[in-house]
Structure 1
Amino acid sequence: MKKKEVKMNVFSKKVIISFILIVMGLTFVACTSSDKTEEKNLKRSQDTEFASDSGVRIEKLSKVQQKNLRTLAKVWGFTKYRHPDITAGNINWDAELFRVIPKVLEATTKEEAGDIMATWLNQFPFQVNTLSKEQEDLYHQVKEKAYLDVEYSWIKNRQVLGNNLADYLENLSEVKVTDNDNGYAVFEEGDIVNVSSDSFMDNSINYEDTGMRLLGLFRYWNIIEYFYPYKNLMDEDWEQVLYDKIPELALQSDKESYALSIANLTTYIHDSHGFFNDNFKVLPQHFGAYKAKATIFNIDGQIVIAGREDKSPLKLGDIVVSIDGTSIEKIIEECNKYISVSDKNRFTNAFDYYLLRSTKEIAEIEVIRNGEKLSLNVPCYYNSKYDVKRLGQDEKSCFMGDKKIGYINIATLESGDLDKLMKKFKGTEGLIIDVRYSNAKMSEYINYPIGEYIKPEVSEYQQFYSSNSFEPGKFIKSTSNSSGRGFIEKQLDKGIDSTTFSKIFDNGIIRTSLGKVKDRYQYNGKVIILMNECTQSVLETMVMSFMDAPNATVIGTPSAGANGNKMDITLPGCIQTSISGLAVTYMDGSQTQRIGLKPDITVKQTVKGIAEGKDEVIEKAIELITKPESK
């Protein structure tokens, strides 16, 4: 129980750090040697009977079998995250699924299937645990923070499950999970869930293997069911999605149909954190193995070229009409089928990699330029590196407006730049902070030192909600995030190690050797924050942290609406995807997920502006600073 004691004691100290460490655009952790080493030390890893093949094959599927498999998926998942021997790492629950599937498929009624599942589960007896006084106190503290519950009433449906199976599940529901360090879902500091250990059977698979394909469906479905904090914002009935997907995955036999089916499954969560990748690159190949070296921007549903390689016949401001005879509307529709987005009207980040693709080295791309329709032969490249910047994305931080304005571009800011820039910008009339594009080179913690400059006092700006580790499927109000003048010093006062803190905050926030906070002045000029639909995840957190600064105005268009940490998921066949693992709201509880942050002043980039190389959002920001009456 040691870990849970730590977690509750450090809510005020380390949740922010834990949250941001996860958010930092980490690469997928599946198939790594460290995960495998840890897995091999668990008892469940000794059960290798189905490591290469489940032995399950289905050629036809009746409605009865489909319904029974749906019940099995739910029973398997409910047990997976609660049973003490499974959370202790003693049972290979994937292998047990493969042992019971053939028996469930033989059942001709739901009653017979329920008895089969009850007999199967009774091989794994357990005792309902009694919490110690310390655990009981902690449990009630967590219970008081209740935010969202999964619907559990199905475990009492004796008409579907039968008495024996319902008895087992109802009894299991009384178990409080107190040790999950070796389970399939590990709770780390701050109640951040890590499911990376749930990847033991993740190597290349035989795609004729029905069991492995169903494992992919069952694993993903249950992770969403029990650990997705935005499940209440999904449009579809998640149980119906499971039912509909069973025949689709059960009856396939090749890697393309399997990968595309899983990709489609991820779209039902409506989360722009739902990245998808597989070793065979099935998804990009589906749209075309060759890609034009150009990048797009979505302007009211129009696909506009916003960046391209110098030798490309495409030009900035070109409106894409079709690619190789397929209309851009049809391609967008296909993207929506396989790529998860929080809002279907804000897709620049998610679709950019897939839109300008072809099956040929020379694509025929039809565009509208200056009102005239043109057909262009555009060079495309196989597995080309995605390194083309959008207009303004690589703009360096600098003076603007006759040195009356300081401009900071988060996308090009490098370690150590901030304080040098702010020293130059001292006394300027206004400061423009561009938070429209991400920067993989720079630490995302930059919002904290910026907050020291532009916010005269510490304020809370963001509320987190996390999984309840005692009861999978329930979520609690956890902690809030803060920024402003004095925030960093308070973290040191709370005992956070100054050396660690300085390494994390990679912009000279603390002098490591002395453990002292850098001296920063209070900036009193106007602050204009720029955002658009590419402002996503940690960038949305940045904007939220700046919004309540005095004299601050947010302009642009709504953000992507995908915030919280990125939880990585591995599925059979080395498919990697991800979801938002923590829920984030404003301090009053109002949602940002799928909605995005709203600007104070809406300013849209236009096709004409892009064609002329103008950044109309920056132009408006300059106007707001230099002309007080401007709105």
Structure 2
Amino acid sequence: MKHFLCAKLSCVLLFLLTSTAGFGQTRYEKIAIYDKIWGFLKYHHPSVARGIVDWDSVYVHDIDKMQNASVSKLNKMLITTIDNLGPIPQNKPRPTVDTLFKLNHNLGWIANSKYISHQLQNKLKEIYVYRNQGANKYIKQNYEAADYSGEKKYQNMILPNEQYRLLFLARFWNAINYFAPYKYLIGEDWNNVLTRFIPKLINTKDILSYYRAMLQLTVALNDGHAQFSFEDGDNTSINNLVFGKYTAPVYAKIVDNTVIITKLVNDTLTHKARLQKGDIVLSIDNSPVGVRMKQFRAYVSGSNNASRNHYLSWVLFNTPKAYQKLKIKRGVRIMDVKVKCILPSQRDWRDLTEYQSNATGYKTVGNSIAYVYAAQIWSGNLDTIKNLIRSKKAVIFDVRNYPQNDAFYNIFGMFLPNPKSIDYSLLMIPDNPGYFTWKQSAKMGEINKTPYKGQVIVLADERNQSQGEYSVMCFQTIPGAVTIGSQTAGADGVKIGIPVGGKMVISYSSYGVYYTNKTPTQRRGVKIDIYVKKTVESVIRSDDLVLARALSYLKSKGID
């Protein structure tokens, strides 16, 4: 009898657990459907798009009822919500032309969802046919970028309650769904991202778990421009809470999952701790670096592994403690050291790109080669640099950095015989959500009867992002130019933030940048003609393999 009762009780408990899990999953699916319909109406229904209805308030008021309703009741409430918006003007929009970019447009969920009745489907289809044309309160185009200034900011809402957390998720998800040019390159079905993060946002209980969930949501974009931060771009307080407010006084590089110290920030502290440039870090605070990298990578954005590792190295040593224990390897020796930490603000972000702030920006290498460090091209030295280049058989443009000013672009004219377009932009269309239009860039340069005829070499790697990658693309238009290096960050287009409450935004690449043959650079990076892979040994020795390969290439052409 006892065994029978135990077995029966186990069955009951199993039934309750599976029933609860099933109920939870159904609840999340209903929230997802409501989020999609709410977002669809936001950008398509004229009464909502024009701001006649406070659409955020509708969401916050209805979300609890919608998620707890039966499927039949859910449909009735949604139909009532649509009917309450009033009749739709029967004005068909202009036809969608074949030249538009269509890979991001997907409304298949309307017809394929088991939660949407035929009656509701027909209403949504009618709204799409007679969708809003002209101005939209919630989205507009500012130059080429998306503009979300019409959204309510809820600036005092530092830790939103559940309804507002779900609102901000719905706002962000729909903005990306309809207006992110690279949605098709994210690498995960965007519908799955919504259902994956609904329970994460529901189950956040404090500011730390909320920040972690929002960082993970940001990472899901697989975009080097993606950042969860305050409106001014500052994410210090977020990083301090999630990763720790102190850091070891070092810079590091990650190569083949090996962490190598590349620079010391504070000689006094690092000398006392016996740290040296070139040390391999095996563990941080008793955690193997492989484990720590996996933990931290969940909260670090990047378009590709090279980009993500680049930014991971910036926070990898963060800690809540004033001292940090490191296990390091130097040659064959393995040592345990303890180092006093500094504040992250005591490091210069430009050192992350090995920015040469004291460099003149140009020099002669060998007898016939001009070397130009692109970040140090200024209006004051532009003519000197041009004269140096003209006197040499070859020029190496080291673009492994971020341009510091617009004077950088004034150098291209000396290489091009005629003005030339650099790229195509892919721009969202506010009144045709999900579709994008192509725009060819303005031509750079001028008619030049005596363009430079020497060999042009361009150096690039993961430190090139956004404008840094665009700079490489500009140099690549020079006839015969050769690009040497490794995969760049793959994040292109102006960085724009979507407000998510508490003076915070999630940023993303808001318009697309493509080569003139419409090949994307997002995630994959710019084209590399000669690939050079860094090695652990080369980083330890501070060898510049990319520059060395450029010089050997020129030597093979008889230039040295």
| 2:512 matches 1:583 | yes
CA–CA distance in structure 2, aligned partners of residues 630 and 366 of structure 1: 46
Secondary structure of the 1:590 match is coil
| 2:529 matches 1:625 | no
Residue of structure 1 equivalent to 2:206? 254
**Percentage of matched positions with identical amino acids:** 27
1:210, distance to aligned residue in structure 2 (A): 0.7
Map 1:454-533 to 2 at 5 A: 454-480=415-441, 482-486=443-447, 522-533=451-462
**Could you tell me whether the CA contact under 8 Å between 2:277 and 2:540 is conserved in 1?**
yes
Residue of structure 2 equivalent to 1:195? 148
Cα distance change on mapping 1:610 and 1:88 into 2, 3 Å: same
Deviates more, 1:465-474 or 1:395-404: 395-404
Secondary structure of the 1:471 match is coil
| 2:70 matches 1:105 | no
Cα distance change on mapping 1:72 and 1:390 into 2, 3 Å: closer
Cα distance change on mapping 1:413 and 1:203 into 2, 3 Å: farther
CA–CA distance in structure 2, aligned partners of residues 530 and 364 of structure 1: 37
Map 1:319-338 to 2 at 5 A: 319-338=280-299
Amino acid of the structure 2 residue aligned with 1:303: V
Secondary structure of the 1:281 match is helix
Secondary structure of the 2:355 match is coil
| 2:31 matches 1:69 | yes
Amino acid of the structure 2 residue aligned with 1:363: Q
1:166, distance to aligned residue in structure 2 (A): 2.3
CA–CA distance in structure 2, aligned partners of residues 630 and 113 of structure 1: 74
Deviates more, 1:269-278 or 1:311-320: 311-320
1:85, distance to aligned residue in structure 2 (A): 2.7
1:530, distance to aligned residue in structure 2 (A): 0.6
| 2:395 matches 1:436 | no
Residue of structure 1 equivalent to 2:256? 300
Amino acid of the structure 1 residue aligned with 2:169: L
**Per-residue CA distance 1:106-151 (angstroms, 9 max, x = gap):** 41x21211111221222112423536xxx84xx55x5533442421
Residue of structure 2 equivalent to 1:167? 122
Amino acid of the structure 1 residue aligned with 2:317: L
Cα distance change on mapping 1:457 and 1:160 into 2, 3 Å: same
**Per-residue CA distance 1:354-411 (angstroms, 9 max, x = gap):** 1121222221122222343232323322342431625853143121224632222123
Secondary structure of the 2:336 match is strand
Cα distance change on mapping 1:473 and 1:293 into 2, 3 Å: same
CA–CA distance in structure 1, aligned partners of residues 50 and 394 of structure 2: 57
**Could you tell me whether the CA contact under 8 Å between 2:386 and 2:411 is conserved in 1?**
no
Secondary structure of the 1:564 match is coil
Larger radius of gyration: 2
Cα distance change on mapping 1:74 and 1:276 into 2, 3 Å: same
CA–CA distance in structure 1, aligned partners of residues 264 and 402 of structure 2: 18
**Could you tell me whether the CA contact under 8 Å between 2:300 and 2:308 is conserved in 1?**
no
Structural RMSD (CA) = 2.8
Give 5+ residue unaligned stretches, structure 1.
1-59, 487-518
1:431, distance to aligned residue in structure 2 (A): 1.2
**Per-residue CA distance 1:444-479 (angstroms, 9 max, x = gap):** x723x2221222223334222221333111223332
**Could you tell me whether the CA contact under 8 Å between 1:81 and 1:87 is conserved in 2?**
yes
Map 1:216-615 to 2 at 5 A: 216-278=168-230, 281-311=237-267, 312-313=270-271, 314-387=275-348, 389=351, 393-394=355-356, 395-402=359-366, 404-439=368-403, 441-443=404-406, 446-447=408-409, 449-480=410-441, 482-486=443-447, 522-615=451-544
CA–CA distance in structure 1, aligned partners of residues 213 and 180 of structure 2: 20
Amino acid of the structure 2 residue aligned with 1:526: Q
CA–CA distance in structure 1, aligned partners of residues 440 and 513 of structure 2: 10
Secondary structure of the 2:315 match is helix
Using structure 1 for the length normalisation, give the TM-score: 0.77
CA–CA distance in structure 2, aligned partners of residues 323 and 158 of structure 1: 48
Amino acid of the structure 2 residue aligned with 1:233: L
1:82, distance to aligned residue in structure 2 (A): 1.6
Residue of structure 2 equivalent to 1:156? 111
**Could you tell me whether the CA contact under 8 Å between 1:537 and 1:562 is conserved in 2?**
yes
Using structure 2 for the length normalisation, give the TM-score: 0.86
CA–CA distance in structure 2, aligned partners of residues 64 and 147 of structure 1: 31
| 2:13 matches 1:84 | no
1:484, distance to aligned residue in structure 2 (A): 3.9
Secondary structure of the 2:341 match is strand
Secondary structure of the 2:426 match is strand
Deviates more, 1:278-287 or 1:449-458: 278-287
| 2:77 matches 1:116 | yes
Residue of structure 2 equivalent to 1:46? none
1:419, distance to aligned residue in structure 2 (A): 2.8
1:540, distance to aligned residue in structure 2 (A): 1.2
Cα distance change on mapping 1:291 and 1:97 into 2, 3 Å: same
Secondary structure of the 2:164 match is helix
Residue of structure 2 equivalent to 1:6? none
CA–CA distance in structure 1, aligned partners of residues 430 and 192 of structure 2: 27
Secondary structure of the 2:487 match is coil
Secondary structure of the 2:421 match is strand
CA–CA distance in structure 2, aligned partners of residues 70 and 204 of structure 1: 23
**Per-residue CA distance 1:488-521 (angstroms, 9 max, x = gap):** xxxxxxxxxxxxxxxxxxxxxxxxxxxxxxx996
Amino acid of the structure 2 residue aligned with 1:102: D
Give 5+ residue unaligned stretches, structure 2.
1-21
CA–CA distance in structure 1, aligned partners of residues 198 and 511 of structure 2: 28
**Could you tell me whether the CA contact under 8 Å between 2:428 and 2:436 is conserved in 1?**
yes
Amino acid of the structure 2 residue aligned with 1:183: K
Secondary structure of the 2:321 match is coil
Cα distance change on mapping 1:176 and 1:75 into 2, 3 Å: closer
1:80, distance to aligned residue in structure 2 (A): 0.8
Amino acid of the structure 2 residue aligned with 1:370: G
**Could you tell me whether the CA contact under 8 Å between 1:84 and 1:126 is conserved in 2?**
no
**Could you tell me whether the CA contact under 8 Å between 1:546 and 1:552 is conserved in 2?**
yes
CA–CA distance in structure 1, aligned partners of residues 259 and 242 of structure 2: 20
**Could you tell me whether the CA contact under 8 Å between 2:153 and 2:499 is conserved in 1?**
no
Cα distance change on mapping 1:244 and 1:145 into 2, 3 Å: closer
Secondary structure of the 2:188 match is coil
Residue of structure 2 equivalent to 1:501? none
**Could you tell me whether the CA contact under 8 Å between 1:148 and 1:476 is conserved in 2?**
no
1:74, distance to aligned residue in structure 2 (A): 0.4
**Could you tell me whether the CA contact under 8 Å between 2:394 and 2:559 is conserved in 1?**
no
